[in-house]
Copies of this chain bind each other. A is one copy, B any other.
Amino acid sequence: MKSIKIGLLGLGNVGYGTFSVLKRNQEEIKRRAGRGIEVVAVAVRDVARAEALVAGACKVVNDPHLIVNDPEIDIVVELIGGYDLSKTLVMQAIANGKHVVTANKALLAVHGNEIFAAAQDKGVMVAFEAAVAGGIPIIKALREGLTANRIEWIAGIINGTTNFILSEMRDKGLDFATVLKQAQELGYAEADPTFDIEGVDAAHKATIMSAIAFGIPVQFDKAYVEGISNLNAVDIRYAEQLGYRIKLLGITKRATVNGVEGIELRVHPTLIPAKRLIANVEGAMNAVLVHGDAVGASLYSGRGAGAEPTASSVIADLVDITRLATADPEHRVPHLAFQPNAMTDIAILPMSEITTSYYLRMHVADQPGVLADLTRILAERSISIDAMLQKEPAEGETHTDIIMLTHQTQEKNVTAAIEKMEALNSVVGTVTKIRLENLS
Identify which of A61-69, A73-81, A133-141, A374-382 touches chain B. A133-141
Number of contacting residues on A, CB 8 A? 146
Beta-carbon contact of A435 and B405 below 8 Å: no
Specify which of A141, A144, A223, A344 lies most central, judged by the most chain B CB atoms within 10 Å of its CB. A144
Copies of this chain, count: 2
0 or 1 for each of A362-406: is its CB under 8 Å from B? (1 = yes)? 000000000000000000000000010100000000000101010
Beta-carbon contact of A299 and B301 below 8 Å: yes
Closest residue on chain B to residue A239 by CB atoms = B359
The residues of B that contact A311 with a CB separation of less than 8 Å are 148, 294
Beta-carbon contact of B300 and A298 below 8 Å: yes
Beta-carbon contact of B137 and A316 below 8 Å: no
Beta-carbon contact of A346 and B120 below 8 Å: no
> Which residues of A243-285 have CB atoms within 8 Å of chain B's CB atoms?
244, 246, 249, 251, 254-255, 257, 261-266, 268-273, 276-278, 280-281
Beta-carbon contact of A25 and B269 below 8 Å: no
The residues of B that contact A244 with a CB separation of less than 8 Å are 359, 436
Specify which of A255, A354, A405 lies most central, judged by the most chain B CB atoms within 10 Å of its CB. A354
> Which residues of A8-42 have CB atoms within 8 Å of chain B's CB atoms?
17, 21-22, 24-25, 28-29, 31-33
Cα(A134)–Cα(B295), bound, Å = 9
Identify which of A46-54, A173-181, A213-221 touches chain B. A213-221
> Which residues of A318-353 have CB atoms within 8 Å of chain B's CB atoms?
319-320, 324-325, 328-338, 340, 342-349, 351, 353
A-B contacts, 5 of them at CB < 8 A, read: A116-B340, A214-B344, A262-B347, A262-B349, A329-B329
